[in-house]
Amino acid sequence: MYLNKDIVKEGNQILKNKSAMVSMPLSSADLNCLKGLYEYVVISSVDELVKQYDIRPGVGIAAPQVGVNKRMFAMNAVDFLDEKESHYLFAIINPIITYKSKELTYLPGGEGCLSVDRSTNGLVTPRHYAITAKCSIYDFNTNKIKTVTLKLEGYPAIVFQHEFDHLDGILFTDKMYHPNDLDKNIFPLYEETEE
């Protein structure tokens, strides 16, 4: 399992490389890496475990962030804008985005990343509101891989695009804007409310 010390930080060339496709069947090294990524996002969602392992919690983590330039990532996003609070927990291999909506959106508070420790001061990263992606998914319950087509929108789509960008050597900080400088038809995913 990966801990804080294993996370590659902004400035490291590994995060800028374009990652290679993962060969199938998975090598044991690739499977171990994917398992570690998956465990990281699962543990991140349990407060006691976050304390126990002393990790910085994250809803997504990509292989380059642990020093492996392979096209794999794990995400564990709860869609907080969905009444059902649908859960998007996946260990993803070789994703291909086959559709991107013209509609763009952004997280009003800006994005965060395990590899970026600085504050991004209200800058935001535009993302496609909806995407479709073809990918292989590793099911850690059955230890089987299946090929799926994921249709995502809103928050889970943003998380997916953030992780996908890591595979192409792109950080969210590479495409940040002040909300006032964005095209008028790019809308925040939700209105921020004052607590």
Binding site for Zn ion (CB under 5 A): 113
Closer residue to Zn ion, CB minimum distance, 66 or 113: 113
Closer residue to Zn ion, CB minimum distance, 7 or 150: 7
Closer residue to Zn ion, CB minimum distance, 102 or 118: 118
Say if CB 74 and CB 37 are below 8 A apart: yes
Of the candidates 111, 28, 22, 112, the one whose C-alpha atom is nearest the C-alpha of residue 73 is 22
Closer residue to Zn ion, CB minimum distance, 129 or 166: 166
* C-alpha to C-alpha distances, 119 to 7, 110, 130, 143, nearest whole angstrom: 18, 10, 27, 39
- Shortest Cβ contact with Zn ion: which residue? 113
Say if CB 132 and CB 95 are below 8 A apart: no
In the bound complex, what is the minimum distance in angstroms from residue 147's beta carbon to Zn ion? 25
Give the integer Cα–Cα distance in Å for 58 and 151. 22
Give the integer Cα–Cα distance in Å for 52 and 55. 8
The yes-or-no answer on residue 163 being catalytic is yes
| Identified catalytic residue from 48, 83, 163, 194 | 163
In the bound complex, what is the minimum distance in angstroms from residue 28's beta carbon to Zn ion? 26
β-sheet bridge partners, residue 77 = 88
In the bound complex, what is the minimum distance in angstroms from residue 116's beta carbon to Zn ion? 7
In the bound complex, what is the minimum distance in angstroms from residue 194's beta carbon to Zn ion? 27
β-sheet bridge partners, residue 144 = 139
Q: Dihedrals φ, ψ of 96, to 5°?
A: -130, 125
Give the integer Cα–Cα distance in Å for 190 and 167. 27
Q: Where in the sequence numbering do the catalytic residues fall? A: 163
